[in-house]
Structure 1
């Protein structure tokens, strides 16, 4: 049997396996097959090994740029667990490979469908992608706004290309270049671009067909394509109105249990497309029937569907979807369901926190959140954050801070059996200064208005936490707030020093 060629390239392991002339594998297309996988255990890989991928779970990988321009290529996009074995028996390899073939979903494309040629002058020197919002520095160099702002936020005060020190950090929009790029996009694609548009148009046509199985296959391909960022493809998704179509398919049809797989996959595609296109289509959720479907999905959907819907709510915090956010925030049942999800010890709780943060971005929604028990839900989430490696405690603290504009929220926090104690534990967080600043600010608000809060805070050890915080390398703003809180607590401290 043929042995694959293994070589280390660009921090990844590339395994090339020639199958065209291999007997017994006639079910495969007669083309070379390429795998490109991350390999954290490079030193353990034997040089004459064959590759087998075990796939009990299947997240989506970005399409690797290893396409041959001369012939079609199969790219396996779904794998997470893989093991390298020695094989001396051909049948063992064949069986294992066909097991892999049956378990993985694949996308067959040619190079023209994936690679788009962008003129050199239309690429940002930092991201190497098509300019979206070109701006020019005082040095005359042009960059994409998001890229140069990240450069500046990292503390750099030079021009990335010339490395000249900037005497004027201001940036000026380059409208001329933006106009030229728009013209280039509208002029019509070249041969490769044309193939891309035709391919995406065919996928859209499939989604509009009545066959559920075909729709599922089309959604799988859309999910992969949207995961691989390409400026031209982004424009295609927008021009072909993929987002409105997917939203209509999810919220414009009657809910059915047999369609739940389709709903999960469609919502996943919607979330991947949202960063690529305008959020304006989300306003269709304002329609009474679509809003009813949204609420029904949140009530009867799977955990995956609820997580996706929470992420969709997170996207409605934008100005152009403010009315949708308002309508969702005034649904008592929906808000209550989100609060319940925030109390759960699983991945969906993180999505629920993001949804609550989006809803409370509107002042008109905050009273409803407090009535639904948002303070209790957020405190419960923060209490469990110590056992989670990756958590959204900083965002949860922002929710409390916003809700504290209401007296009912302050009372809910003070009356919560673990509310003040939980916040005190967040005061001195070595790994997260943002949490520390928020905790000190929240405690200052409730301790100013409630004597009981001052007593509980002192009893929970807030004075020690504040002194540790003042001796740490936290920011000036955080230290100022800590001193103000110490001053506020001084009266109680002097009055009853035994509590310290």
Structure 2
């Protein structure tokens, strides 16, 4: 009986080992079972994802025959796909899963026709017709990354941005559902081209996004703040000026930096938006810094820096450095017990850019501030950290500031005892 069980087990193992995938079912590029086989004009079939990646990398030949390919839209090989699916079904008991029938990807002509139709609907403000088209765009984008790329390359982002501008200018409350759907679709297509950005940066669009920040649910707030971040990342100070004119935006951004209420996505994007607003070349940046300081942003950022992830810390350090550019910001920083210990602690612990911001902020506090800031920085080990920063390497500007800081700190070293820079026992400022 035992011998019979062993023979049966060996037989099953042998059956598994004998299962060999037919060569013509394998993609010549990936050597994996093809999920969506397509044929080139050369007659060779490949898995769609593999051959599209091959073309995206700048290749113009058939990988097998090395012939020049003139048509980069491969034809679905339905016969081969059905054969592969039938083979999978036959071998299901051996652990082979059936390959689902792939959706046919959209073509550039289909996308261009939809974008043109959307422009026509927008011109007459036909809300229901636009909503149906936007939902179709969302459906296409959810099906595959290829569809999303095809839409991005064939005018869909511009059509969506112009629709958002038009319906926001018409009425936010009446078109709120449509505007939310448009903003969701745009979020999946960043970064946008210049023409689309012009519509997204219009006064009506900006006011609509700020309205979403006030009145929408968490998802709507996330889409709006991410859209504002992407818009400001292009460095157009006119967008900063326009946002500065919208009443109450400063308070909203400070509220969003409360991590205990909102999501990391909102925190990260809010810090980026604040940084673009307080560090741009626009005339209103200095006023914005003062406004944010008055709203308690210095303490809020310090609280964020205590235990946030690296990407959030880096953006927080960037904002804090900008706030320290004004006297009012430095005064708020001096009054907070977390300031110097946190800045020193974050050096060489977040990122190279985070270290740059930390050094720059400490430089501002020590050079333009009180003598106590110099003493406290020495007590928590800034001198040794600066030497290490210079040793491991940094940018020219950071190197210059670190060197100047060392010269500034050196006269005080003899009379200052270095203490543990841990700040676990310090309480949050709010």
CA contact (8 A) 1:414 1:453 kept: yes
Query: After superposition, what is the alpha-carbon deviation per residue over 1:435-486, rounded to whole angstroms, capped at 9, x for unaligned?
Result: 2222112111112312332233223221221232233233454333222212
Query: After superposition, what is the alpha-carbon deviation per residue over 1:205-258, rounded to whole angstroms, capped at 9, x for unaligned?
Result: 577451545532234436867841689625x754xx441213334675444899
Query: Which residue of structure 2 lines up, in the alignment, with residue 36 of structure 1?
Result: 49
Partner SS, residue 233 of structure 1: coil
Query: Which residue of structure 2 lines up, in the alignment, with residue 244 of structure 1?
Result: 162
Query: Which residue of structure 2 lines up, in the alignment, with residue 300 of structure 1?
Result: 215
CA contact (8 A) 2:298 2:329 kept: yes
CA contact (8 A) 1:342 1:348 kept: no
Query: Which residue of structure 2 lines up, in the alignment, with residue 467 of structure 1?
Result: 387
CA contact (8 A) 1:342 1:378 kept: no
Distance in 1 (CA, whole Å) between partners of 2:32 and 2:244 is: 49
Distance in 1 (CA, whole Å) between partners of 2:316 and 2:298 is: 10
Query: After superposition, what is the alpha-carbon deviation per residue over 1:263-316, rounded to whole angstroms, capped at 9, x for unaligned?
Result: 1553441562652232222343x34xx665433311232333222222222213
Query: Which residue of structure 1 lines up, in the alignment, with residue 149 of structure 2?
Result: 228
Give matches, 1:324-363, under 5 Å: 324-328=242-246, 331-340=249-258, 346-360=264-278, 361=280, 362-363=285-286
Flag the 1:291–1:7 CA change in 2: closer, same or farther, 3 A. Answer: closer
Partner SS, residue 27 of structure 2: strand
Flag the 1:203–1:230 CA change in 2: closer, same or farther, 3 A. Answer: closer
Distance in 2 (CA, whole Å) between partners of 1:6 and 1:309 is: 44
Query: Which residue of structure 1 lines up, in the alignment, with residue 376 of structure 2?
Result: 456
Query: After superposition, what is the alpha-carbon deviation per residue over 1:42-66, rounded to whole angstroms, capped at 9, x for unaligned?
Result: xxxxxxxxxxxxxxxxxxxxxxx98
Partner SS, residue 15 of structure 1: coil
CA contact (8 A) 1:310 1:354 kept: no
Flag the 1:259–1:416 CA change in 2: closer, same or farther, 3 A. Answer: same
* Bigger RCO (CA 8 Å, 6+ sep): 2
Query: Which residue of structure 1 lines up, in the alignment, with residue 351 of structure 2?
Result: 432
CA contact (8 A) 2:88 2:96 kept: no
Distance in 2 (CA, whole Å) between partners of 1:295 and 1:232 is: 28
Flag the 1:336–1:326 CA change in 2: closer, same or farther, 3 A. Answer: same
Distance in 2 (CA, whole Å) between partners of 1:302 and 1:336 is: 18
Q: TM-score, normalised by structure 1?
A: 0.57
State which drifts further: 402-411 or 372-381. 372-381
Flag the 1:93–1:496 CA change in 2: closer, same or farther, 3 A. Answer: closer
Flag the 1:197–1:292 CA change in 2: closer, same or farther, 3 A. Answer: closer
Unaligned runs of 5+ residues in structure 1 are 20-31, 39-64, 73-84, 115-193
1:336 Cα offset (Å)? 2.7
CA contact (8 A) 2:111 2:151 kept: no
CA contact (8 A) 1:6 1:14 kept: yes
| Residue from 417, 421, 427 that aligns with 2:337 | 417
Query: Which residue of structure 1 lines up, in the alignment, with residue 26 of structure 2?
Result: 6
Partner SS, residue 340 of structure 1: coil
Unaligned runs of 5+ residues in structure 2 are 1-20, 39-44, 52-70, 79-86, 421-430
Flag the 1:320–1:333 CA change in 2: closer, same or farther, 3 A. Answer: closer
- Between structures 1 and 2, the one with greater helix share: 2
Q: Of the two, which has the highest radius of gyration?
A: 2
Give matches, 1:126-141, under 5 Å: none
- Determine if the alignment matches structure 1 residue 275 to structure 2 residue 192: yes
- Alpha carbon RMSD of aligned pairs, Å? 4.5
How many residues are aligned here? 351
